[in-house]
């Protein structure tokens, strides 16, 4: 099926972008740092929470677009370990918003065969939030479509600490005195074990930082930073990111197809 049909898009800007997309070369895992809700609200003289409400709408649309295009995995950075430094009222609002979102959207997530996963130190989340995410993960556990991963109370360094401790526990428990860890051991003990590493990391609001997000997993990810604030990150802007991703040449430290040396131009053949 063509991308325009998958998205049932009628907007000419979107159609033009969809026509450029190769559905077979979409990122296998898209990770997004959703940034700029507060600034979006401030610019409109609204309270910060209005920016978060607008951000949820965009998250919903982004999830739908990725699922329709059959992106295998999408990770959204919803709440970091550092976000506890925000005012209590804002934290409580974000937690409420997440529960509201789950309550409203879970039936449609499930109907669309999406599997919901939550990564982060969930034991430190409020009881009610934990209850709702466990219920959502249980309900969608057998779904075979897109994996929607919500990073909640997440920190990349904390994830590595948790992985190392899990490895050490296993070594002690099984008395593996000659054990040597390798990259696979570490990957398999991260919260994201079994998922492909992100090939595309999107960050909104123009900040040039990775903010402790998926530190191990983004080793080879293409970075796409847009000035758009998260509540303005429309479907068209997401498609622009995908088109841009497909125009990049990914070399993983080797030589690219357009590199002259590969064609013998610098290799002494001529």
> Which residues in this chain contact ligand FPP in the complex, by CB under 6 A?
34-39, 52, 55-56, 59, 76, 78, 83, 94, 97-98, 101, 150, 230
Pick between residue 7 and residue 34 the one whose CB is nearest to ligand FPP.
Answer: 34
83 is an active site residue: yes
CB atoms within 10 A of CB 160: 15
Backbone angles phi, psi at 212, to 5 degrees: 60, 35
Strands 147-154 and 115-119: parallel
In the bound complex, what is the minimum distance in angstroms from residue 155's beta carbon to ligand FPP?
14
CB of 57 vs ligand FPP, minimal distance in Å: 9
Neighbouring C-beta atoms of residue 258, cutoff 10 Å: 9
CB of 24 to ligand FPP, least distance (A): 28
Q: What is the dihedral of CA 105, 111, 114, 115, to 10 degrees?
A: 90
Q: Nearer to ligand FPP by C-beta: 97 or 171?
A: 97
Q: Which of 19, 22, 35, 232 does the annotation list as catalytic? A: 35
Tell me how crowded residue 200 is: count the other CB atoms within 10 A of its CB. Answer: 23
| Shorter beta-carbon distance to ligand FPP: residue 21 or 59 | 59
Nearer CB in complex with ligand FPP: 26/136: 136
Sheet of 200-203: strand order equals: 115-119, 147-154, 73-80, 29-33, 200-203, 222-225
CB nearest ligand FPP: which residue? 38
SS3 breakdown of the chain: % helix, strand, coil, rounded to 5? 50, 15, 35
- The answer to whether the beta carbons of residues 102 and 132 sit under 8 Å apart is yes
In the bound state with ligand FPP, the residue whose beta carbon lies nearer, of 94 and 163, is 94
DSSP one-letter string for 80-114: EGGGGGS-HHHHHHHHHHHHHHHHHHHHHHHHTTP
CB of 107 to ligand FPP, least distance (A): 15
Q: Which is nearer to ligand FPP, 18 or 198 (CB)?
A: 198
Residue 66: name the closest of 112, 107, 125, 33 by CA.
112
Q: Is 244 annotated as catalytic?
A: no
Shortest distance (Å) from residue 1 CB to ligand FPP: 27
Contact (Cβ atoms closer than 8 angstroms) between residue 204 and residue 230: yes
Cβ 71 to ligand FPP shortest distance, Å: 16
Catalytic hit among 19, 37, 83, 182:
83
**Catalytic positions, please?**
35, 83
């Amino acid at each position: 099926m063509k991308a325009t049909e998958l998205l049932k898009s009628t907007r000419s800007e979107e159609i033009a972008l969809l026509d450029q997309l190769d559905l077979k070369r979409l990122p296998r895992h898209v990770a997004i740092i959703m940034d700029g809700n507060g600034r979006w609200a401030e610019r409109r003289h609204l309270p910060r929470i209005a920016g978060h409400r607008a951000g949820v709408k965009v998250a919903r649309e982004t999830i739908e677009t990725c699922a329709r295009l059959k992106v295998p995995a999408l990770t959204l950075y919803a709440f970091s370990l550092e976000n506890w430094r925000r005012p209590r009222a804002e934290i409580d609002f974000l937690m409420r918003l997440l529960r509201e979102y789950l309550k409203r959207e879970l039936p449609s997530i499930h109907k669309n065969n999406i599997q919901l996963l939550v990564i982060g130190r969930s034991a430190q989340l409020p009881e009610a939030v934990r209850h709702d995410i466990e219920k959502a993960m249980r309900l969608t556990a057998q779904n075979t479509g897109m994996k929607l991963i919500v990073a909640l109370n997440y920190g990349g360094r904390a994830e590595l600490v948790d992985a190392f401790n899990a490895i050490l526990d296993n070594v002690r428990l099984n008395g593996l005195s000659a054990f040597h860890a390798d990259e696979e051991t570490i990957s398999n003990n991260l919260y994201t074990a079994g998922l492909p590493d992100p090939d595309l990391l999107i960050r909104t609001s123009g900040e040039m930082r990775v903010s402790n997000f998926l530190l191990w997993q983004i080793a080879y990810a293409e970075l796409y930073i847009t000035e758009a604030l998260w509540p303005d990150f429309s479907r068209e802007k997401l498609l622009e990111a995908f088109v841009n991703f497909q125009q990049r040449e990914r070399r993983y430290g080797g030589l690219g197809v357009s590199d002259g040396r590969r064609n013998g131009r610098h290799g002494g053949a001529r």
